[in-house]
């Protein structure tokens, strides 16, 4: 029915059961529903002021529709899949609000403009889209998630260069187009785990192995470095092929491009390592007899660092800059260093915080195996995780690693897949368009990425 200001008039959409409607103008009306004769066939309809155009999709159920223009319409599927109309065709995104078992679905949808879409699901999860790519990843090459290898680590430079290591010593690579490929294995017998992974490019990748070795990929060739035979190497971090650090029960090892040098820390059971440069590196270990669990490299020597809450168990560290360092600890504590003093933030986490990653000084994510918290440059706030992060569901698999890059948050699950979260950015405007590739209007001047005068 259409109201023209004085009276109602009907408009007939043949063989349709209409369930939801959105309209931008009298000649730009969208509806969704089902085929009247076959309820199992989903229907999307558009009215241009004169005639209706329809799209019918077998075995689809749509929960809501939101449109801002004739070439900008979003449809939420009961399967959690979002679909977008750009004036030419429909594009399906990855599943963001439902589990394959059908436990939940996107149930509400609102679009303010082409770069501002809000969705909610039936499990009280909220999602926000601000014009970024959804970044779909194929599953790793296993037919059954519960028969797949247990993952250990993930690292990458972009969506087309991601590496994953497993407890069987497998090292998988994704190049953005082809399925995941097995690049190499630590041991042909698949009995030696590949732990941490780090690098600087697709041709400079380093992997820490459980048997005391480090594997180096230079170009297309893998080389093995024996550092601590029989003692596990747990973490690895680098700034270049001539500045590589490996940490494990045999000590801390530095590679200058030619030789390895060993350093002894009081306790070398390593939980995490990260730095902002060659002379600013932090390592989290199990506490020594004096209670020290955080160590800092200043380019010359290692020294113990004391945070605010000495009694908490430290789990991981992430350094954005010399004056911005975060350490996650048990019981929801996050210690932050501003270059002068440590602060302590207490988050309402239901599981222990173990992971940290970030892409900028106002874009850092801390996580437990099922929760996400975001630092926007001022404070921490909870983020809604994907639906299959909710325990006690058929699809629940805990997170084992985290990778944050502009426009995306990738989470490595314990088995089978990498989960990419619908990107959420801070709500406040930045002073400058300091990221020119994230498809976000960071300084809120109406210009995105290369359209902004501050970008190339």
- Looking up residue 393, the CATH number of its domain turns out to be 2.130.10.10
Same domain, 63 and 192: no
pLDDT band for position 424 (50/70/90)? very low
CA 313 – CA 28 distance, rounded (Å): 58
Residues 6+ apart with CB under 8 A from 189: none
For residue 225, give the DSSP letter: E
Same domain, 55 and 194: no
Any idea what the Cα angle at residue 234 is, between residues 231 and 239, rounded to 5°?
125
Predicted pLDDT of residue 103: 56
Q: For residue 55, tell me if it sits in a domain.
A: yes
Does position 182 have pLDDT exceeding 50, yes or no?
yes
How many domains does the chain contain in total? 3
Does position 169 have pLDDT exceeding 90, yes or no?
yes
Percent residues over pLDDT 70 in the chain: 82
Same domain, 122 and 158: no
Q: Are 54 and 32 in contact (CB under 8 A)?
A: no
pLDDT band for position 111 (50/70/90)? confident
- 392 burial type by CB count under 10 A (0-12 exposed, 13-18 middle, 19+ buried): exposed
pTM, entire model:
0.68
Question: pLDDT of 120-165, one tens digit each?
Answer: 777 666 676 655 444 456 778 877 766 778 999 999 987 778 999 9
CA 108 – CA 68 distance, rounded (Å): 16
Same domain, 370 and 275: yes
CA 338 – CA 58 distance, rounded (Å): 56
Does position 254 have pLDDT exceeding 90, yes or no?
yes
Residue 93's φ and ψ, nearest 5 degrees, are: -95, 180
Predicted pLDDT of residue 426: 39
User: Mean per-residue pLDDT for 323-334?
Assistant: 93
Same domain, 219 and 188: yes
Does position 191 have pLDDT exceeding 90, yes or no?
yes
Does position 277 have pLDDT exceeding 50, yes or no?
yes
Predicted pLDDT of residue 298: 94
**pLDDT, the chain, mean:** 83
Give CA torsion, residues 185, 188, 190, 196, to 10 deg: -30
Tokens 């940290």 belong to which residue?
356
In the numeric block, which tokens belong to residue 288? 């020594």
Same domain, 416 and 434: no
Containing structural domain, residue 305: 151-421
CA 164 – CA 276 distance, rounded (Å): 23
Same domain, 359 and 438: no
Does position 312 have pLDDT exceeding 60, yes or no?
yes
């Amino acid at each position: 029915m259409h109201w023209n200001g004085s009276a109602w008039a009907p408009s007939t959409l043949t063989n349709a059961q209409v369930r939801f409607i959105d309209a931008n103008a009298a000649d730009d009306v969208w509806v969704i529903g089902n085929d009247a004769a076959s309820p199992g066939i989903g229907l999307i309809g558009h009215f241009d002021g004169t005639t209706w155009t329809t799209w019918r999709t077998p075995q689809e159920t749509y929960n809501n529709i939101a449109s801002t223009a004739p070439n900008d319409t979003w449809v939420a599927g009961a399967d959690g899949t979002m679909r977008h109309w750009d004036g030419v065709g429909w594009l399906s995104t990855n599943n963001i609000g439902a589990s394959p078992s059908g436990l939940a679905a996107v149930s509400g949808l609102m679009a303010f403009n082409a770069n501002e879409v809000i969705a909610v699901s039936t499990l009280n999860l909220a999602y926000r889209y601000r014009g970024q790519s959804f970044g779909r990843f194929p599953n790793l090459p296993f037919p059954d998630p519960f028969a797949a290898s247990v993952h250990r680590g993930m690292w990458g430079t972009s969506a087309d260069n991601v590496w994953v290591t497993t407890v069987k010593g497998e090292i998988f690579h994704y190049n953005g187009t082809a399925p995941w490929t097995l690049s190499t294995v630590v041991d042909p017998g698949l009995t030696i785990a590949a732990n941490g992974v780090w690098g600087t490019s697709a041709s400079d990748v380093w992997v820490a192995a459980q048997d005391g070795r480090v594997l180096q990929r230079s170009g297309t060739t893998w080389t093995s470095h024996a550092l601590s035979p029989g003692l596990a190497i747990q973490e690895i971090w680098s700034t270049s092929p001539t500045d590589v650090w490996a940490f494990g029960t045999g000590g801390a090892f530095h590679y200058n491009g030619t030789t390895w040098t060993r350093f002894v820390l009081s306790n070398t059971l390593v939980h995490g390592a990260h730095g902002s440069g060659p002379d600013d590196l932090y390592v989290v270990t199990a506490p020594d007899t004096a209670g020290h669990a955080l160590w800092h490299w200043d380019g010359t020597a290692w020294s113990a660092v004391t945070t605010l809450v000495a009694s908490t168990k430290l789990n991981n560290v992430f350094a954005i800059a010399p004056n911005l360092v975060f350490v996650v600890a048990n019981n929801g504590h996050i210690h932050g260093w501003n270059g002068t003093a440590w602060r302590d933030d207490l988050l309402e986490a239901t599981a222990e915080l173990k992971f940290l990653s970030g892409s900028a000084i106002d874009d850092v994510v801390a996580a437990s195996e099922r929760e996400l918290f975001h630092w926007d440059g001022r404070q921490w706030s909870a983020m809604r995780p994907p639906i299959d992060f909710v325990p006690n569901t058929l699809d629940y698999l805990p997170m084992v690693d985290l990778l944050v890059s502009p426009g995306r948050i990738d989470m490595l699950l314990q088995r089978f897949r990498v989960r990419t979260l619908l990107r959420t950015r801070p709500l406040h405007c930045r002073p400058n368009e300091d990221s020119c590739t994230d498809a976000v209007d960071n300084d809120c001047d109406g210009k995105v990425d290369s359209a902004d005068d501050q970008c190339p």
